[in-house]
A and B are shown apart, each in its own frame.
Chain A
Amino acid sequence: MIEVQNLCVRAGTFELRDVCFTVPQGRYGVLMGRTGCGKTTILESLAGLKPVTGGAVRLMGMDVTHLKPAERGIGYVPQDGALFSRMTVREHLAFALRVRKWKETRIGERVSELAELLGIAPLLARKPQGLSGGERQRVALGRALSFQPGILLLDEPLSALDDETRSAMYDLLQRAQRHEHVTALHITHSHDEASRLGDCLLRLESGQVREVPLDQARGNVTPHKAVAP
């Protein structure tokens, strides 16, 4: 569960005040809003990458407001994937597990499980250079889910993908979220993305987050033609 209470955060001259919202346990929350309205700032505050000036952030029932990113138990997928250019896909999936000093056999099992789930098994020996946009995001997702976090934060992970790849990623994201039993918060400015993925829709407008009824959001979207992955 993600609970944000009266969050105040400042980024240069930009400031958000008294932001409140909740994403219930196990749900796929989508936070919508125009470009530059502060969505990424909120996400970075939840991840502990941006210090908050007021309010509280509770993740899985624990107050993490002043904890370091490493102590929050969150998986984070940035917009461009932010893959480690010197590591193979296998090393990406094993990275967080090695930091946690898992045994190599357990790491191997977990890497195989994730590679299977995300369809990246043939890419395990490759480095990020030369991977397609969709492949990069799958690797970034696998890396974020590897250590079985309770919370998954996704910052416009599909914005740079073509329509066909994006459609395949919708199914993958939903499958991965259910398989890993993770509470997700996904940022986007796409109504289509929000209505396809979200079961808890939030809109950031004028510095405040409000919940959007699902039927209202889905009514705004033209029927989507599914494309086979």
Chain B
Amino acid sequence: MRSDAPFYAVMIALSAFYVFMIVAMVAADLGYTTPDRLLSVIVDSPYIRQSIRLSLISCTITAILSVWVAVPIGYLMARHRFRGKALVDTILDIPIVLPPLVVGLSLLILFQYRPFAWIADRVVFEVPAVILAQFMVACAFSVRTMRIAFEQISPRPEQVALTLGCTRNQAFWSVVLPEARGGVLTAGTLAWARALGEFGPILIFAGSMRGNTEVLPTTVFLEFQAGNLHEALAVSIVMIIVAMIVLIVTRMFGAERSML
């Protein structure tokens, strides 16, 4: 009988190559600088500090908004059949497949039309544009996560709650949502992580004004363009550390099937 060894050798070699490349990439970043230099870059640059602050605030707001929108959409898509569901499903995936720059450009054009045009002065190229650009992409991932979470929960407990005297609203809040708690947390974390890395739509829709609409990916881009490799790297390492924390938290809450 022929050996299975060649089969596994090819499988393992290809897997090992990709895992090695990921680890090597991160290790190269970490090895290129020192913790002292990293700290001094962050402490010395008011733009980078402001960029970190805006990223943390905008990502948190985006995550909260995404969960608020993703929970009802995920629930309806998981539990109900309705006319046009396939079309809605496709529309919900558009932000995932659309090139990020196109999302930004589309938002920019959308705000030329009323009623959006009425508030364009306060939104476009301002901080709200950062949040809206992050939200438009991050929310799509949260929707996917919440849909999977609700699909994994049996409808039976909800039905039992209805027979026990609950309205649909009471059953949702007292039975369904607590059961989906892990999914909610994963959806929020995932939206946060996606928002942190969002660059294309922000560049077009919010601009790259230093200290104003500058978020971490913008900082990496601006510092790199100015030839400040160490500054760009320092910000990149901050993002890597945050991404690792998010990954660990998400894994802890069983998000193997999420899109992280």
Contact = CB atoms under 8 A, between A and B. Distances in A.
A224 interface: no
A86 B178 contact: yes
Interface in A81-120: 82-86, 95-96, 99-100
B162 A70 contact: yes
Contacts of B181: 86
A178 to B, nearest CB: 22
A72 B163 contact: yes
Interface centre among A47, A86, A144 (most CB of B within 10 A): A86
Given A70-B166, A99-B165, A82 B179 contact: no
B164 A143 contact: yes
B170 interface: yes
Interface in B164-179: 164-167, 170, 174-175, 178-179
B179 A76 contact: no
Interface secondary structure of B, over-half rule: helix
A83 to B, nearest CB: 7
B40 interface: no
Contacts of B174: 95
Contacts of A69: 159, 162-163
A134 interface: no
Contacts of B165: 70, 96, 99-100, 147
A96 B179 contact: no
A70 B167 contact: yes
A83 B175 CA distance: 10
B163 A74 contact: yes
B249 interface: no
A75 B165 CA distance: 10
Contacts of B164: 70, 95-96, 99, 143-144, 146-147
A78 interface: yes
B83 interface: no
A84 B159 contact: no
A85 B160 contact: no
A78 B161 CA distance: 12
Interface residues of A, number: 26
Interface residues of B, number: 18
A76 B170 contact: no
B46 interface: no
B112 interface: no
B157 interface: yes
Interface centre among B160, B161, B174, B179 (most CB of A within 10 A): B160
B154 interface: yes
Contacts of A147: 164-165
Given A70-B167, A86-B178, A86-B179, A78 B162 contact: no
Interface string A184-197: 00000000000000
A171 interface: no
A191 to B, nearest CB: 26
A76 B175 contact: no
A49 B159 CA distance: 7
Contacts of B114: none
A48 B164 CA distance: 12
A61 B162 CA distance: 21
Contacts of A66: none
Contacts of A100: 165
Contact of A82 (B157, B167, B170, B178): B157
Given A70-B166, A99-B164, A85 B159 contact: no
Contacts of B80: none
Contacts of A49: 159, 162-163
A20 B102 CA distance: 61
Contacts of A47: 159, 163
Which are the 3 A-B pairs with shortest beta-carbon distances? A82-B156, A96-B164, A69-B162
20 contacts: A47-B159, A47-B163, A49-B163, A68-B162, A69-B163, A76-B160, A76-B163, A78-B160, A82-B156, A82-B159, A84-B179, A85-B157, A95-B161, A95-B164, A96-B164, A99-B164, A99-B170, A144-B164, A147-B164, A147-B165
